Structure 1
Amino acid sequence: MTEHLILITLTFLLAGLVKGVIGLGLPTVAMGLLAAAMPPAQAAAMLLVPSAVTNLWQLLAGPRFLPLLRQLWGMMLGIALGTIACSGLIAGPAVHLATAGLGLALLAYAAIGLAKPGLSVPVQARGWAGPLVGLATGAVTGATGVFVIPAVPYLSALGLARDDLVQALGLSFTVSTFALGLGLAWHGALPGLALGASLLALLPALLGMLLGGWLRARVRPELFRKIFFVGLAILGAEILWRAVG
């Protein structure tokens, strides 16, 4: 673990910066970069503490936690169940399959982010759509450690106010993080050394978020967002190529 200290520090500094500018992306960037040097399960264990702290911060900073929880509880339950049920995939012996899944998840997320489809979920469909999206998000999380697909497009399609959307994303990411931690622990893929490294990664992640907040006031977020998704697509393609090559 110590031989990756520089990589871990730079990865979480960059991941925190991305989150500070556009409000998301820390676990996605961290998983994509760390998977270049270690198995996906080890990378997922590494991101638990920084992801939990930064997403709790994002969740509790908003004023509508309880109303959003009442609105989205079915989706959150689906995320928790799906993640724990599928966590054996990322923690299992088929490392190349988990790595290929990670590459596909990053590519899918980048494609949706660049296309920005104008999706909208009818009110009458949300009662059943939310839990299904939650289960699908949990399955992707348990298989790859990436918990943005399809949760982020779905939440964006609900027509929430900007602050409510940011808080809803924080809620979804927080549930995903804790469920992933439980799943990894259940399958014996959460050694104390990984948790220690995850705790150390918290400092560069927070520093990156502070830098990202400073940068957000000085760059056009939309331009930064496009650069982020293009870079994510390249990273996803490289990971997928490495997994199947």
Structure 2
Amino acid sequence: MALSDSLAQAPLLLPALVTVVFLLAGLVKGVVGMGLPTVAVGLLALWMTPAEAAALLIVPSLVTNVWQMQPWGRLGAMLRRLWPMQLGVVAGTLAGAWWFGAPAGAWAPVALGLALIAYAGWSLTGKRLTVAPTAERALGPLVGTATGLVTSATGVFVVPAVPYLQALRCTSDGLIQAMGISFTVSTLALAAGLQMGGATSGAAWALSLWMLLPALTGMALGAALRKRLSPAAFRQCFMVGLLLLGAYMVVLA
């Protein structure tokens, strides 16, 4: 069922549910610095296609990730370090959109579920890789392309980008900025891919714009909550939730 049809049949219920999802996703991002697209697409895909869920993600993801790219004074240096990876992200996403089409059909929820399981499972192991500076130019485009292909198939762009960025051993602030850059590029590439595949509609863009407010509200709440609890404990609970959600999507599909 298309998003416009869903809105016509449930003009109040669906926007209310989507609002709650983006409020929760923003809260997670406010606490741990990431997770908005993963939570939003993972939950929304339970009652709409992954392509429709990804379309709703575009505006909130873009705005929150551009904000995360601060501080602007160090942005140039980080871009010079990450541009090979970002070229791979764009190439992989657009190639995947041309190859796979928009994330839809029975295989897309399975792919999304498997991506969530892989990401959560890896994070829960607590293992970290290390990438030597001399290997970044070679590995960056490969990781970016793989991330783009996963993005075009599932609408989620954390695998394998986040494990790779963690392996670069940046400072905490540097890692947050690096993720902001990668997520911003992935969001723009995903928007272009969805447009290429004709997976977006006026209703989806309008609702995506409206979802910016609950996403930002959730981020503000998350930032306040972060001062009251351990981000590490919250992250563990978050990853367990993603693991269960991914498993549920695979079994359901």
What TM-score do you get using the length of structure 1 for normalisation?
A: 0.96
Q: What's the RMSD between the two structures over aligned residues?
A: 1.1
Match of 2:203 among 193, 196, 215: 193
Counterpart CA distance in 2 for 1:20 and 1:129 is 30
Are 1:8 and 2:14 counterparts? no
Aligned counterpart, 1:91: 102
Contiguous gaps of at least 5 residues in structure 2? 1-6
* Contact 1:31-1:40 at 8 Å conserved across structures: yes
Aligned counterpart, 1:27: 37
Aligned counterpart, 2:84: 74
Are 1:54 and 2:54 counterparts? no
Q: Residue deviations 1:18-38, cap 9 Å, x none?
A: 000000000000000000010
* Contact 2:128-2:163 at 8 Å conserved across structures: no
* Contact 1:62-1:164 at 8 Å conserved across structures: no
What TM-score do you get using the length of structure 2 for normalisation?
A: 0.93
Are 1:125 and 2:126 counterparts? no
Counterpart CA distance in 2 for 1:97 and 1:61 is 40
Counterpart code for 1:7:
L
Counterpart CA distance in 1 for 2:169 and 2:50 is 34
Counterpart CA distance in 2 for 1:165 and 1:41 is 28
Q: Within 5 Å, which residues of 2 pair with 1:216-231?
A: 216-231=226-241
Counterpart CA distance in 2 for 1:139 and 1:211 is 33
Counterpart code for 2:225:
L
Are 1:161 and 2:171 counterparts? yes
Cα separation, partners in 2 of 1:121 and 1:18, compared to 1, 3 Å: same
Counterpart CA distance in 2 for 1:138 and 1:86 is 7
The CA deviation at 1:60 is 3.1
Counterpart CA distance in 1 for 2:73 and 2:44 is 34
| Secondary structure of the corresponding residue to residue 157 of structure 2 | coil
Counterpart CA distance in 2 for 1:118 and 1:146 is 21
Are 1:177 and 2:187 counterparts? yes
| Secondary structure of the corresponding residue to residue 63 of structure 1 | helix
Counterpart CA distance in 2 for 1:100 and 1:204 is 28
Q: Residue deviations 1:192-217, cap 9 Å, x none?
A: 11000101111100000000001000
Q: Residue deviations 1:168-205, cap 9 Å, x none?
A: 00000000000000000011111111000101111100
Counterpart code for 1:204:
P
Are 1:112 and 2:115 counterparts? no
Counterpart code for 2:170:
L
Counterpart CA distance in 2 for 1:60 and 1:31 is 25
Aligned counterpart, 1:239: 249
Counterpart CA distance in 1 for 2:82 and 2:247 is 33
Match of 2:219 among 186, 206, 209: 209
Counterpart CA distance in 1 for 2:109 and 2:71 is 34
Counterpart CA distance in 2 for 1:96 and 1:17 is 30
Q: Once superposed, which parts of structure 1, at least 4 consecutive aligned residues long, lie more than 4 Å away? A: none
* Contact 2:120-2:243 at 8 Å conserved across structures: yes
Q: Within 5 Å, which residues of 2 pair with 1:35-50?
A: 35-50=45-60
Counterpart CA distance in 1 for 2:95 and 2:204 is 22
* Contact 2:85-2:144 at 8 Å conserved across structures: yes
